[in-house]
Amino acid sequence: MTTMGIDPAQLSDDDLLRELRQLHATRSDTFFHGSDDALAHHTSRTNELEAEYLRRVPDREVDPARLREGARQR
């Protein structure tokens, strides 16, 4: 599937974060109420942007509470 939008590699760090936050904020609405095409596009674009973020920030901070061991401690 070809997505619309700017190539994630061409986005500034600020723009990449803004786009990711917007997609995550609209995910539920798209999932529950969007057309099949809208959901497929949303998923594809999210995957593109998340992959670019992980490429740029491979050693991102991971919250220990979000790991299996942290969940066990709760």
How does pLDDT run across 5-29, given as a tens digit for each residue? 899 999 999 999 999 999 999 999 9
C-alpha span between 38 and 7 (Å, rounded): 19
pLDDT band at residue 68 using 50, 70 and 90 as cut-offs: confident
The domain containing residue 38 runs over which residues?
12-55
CA-nearest of 51, 50, 38 to 3 is 38
* Interval 25-49: pLDDT, tens: 999 999 999 999 999 999 999 999 9
Q: Residue 7 domain-assigned?
A: no
C-alpha span between 28 and 39 (Å, rounded): 10
C-alpha span between 27 and 54 (Å, rounded): 19
Q: How many domains does the chain have?
A: 1
Is the pTM value of this prediction over 0.85?
no
What tokens were used for 19? 């786009």
Q: Residue 65 domain-assigned?
A: no
pLDDT at 73: 64
Q: Residue 31 domain-assigned?
A: yes
**Residue 20 vs residue 69, higher pLDDT:** 20
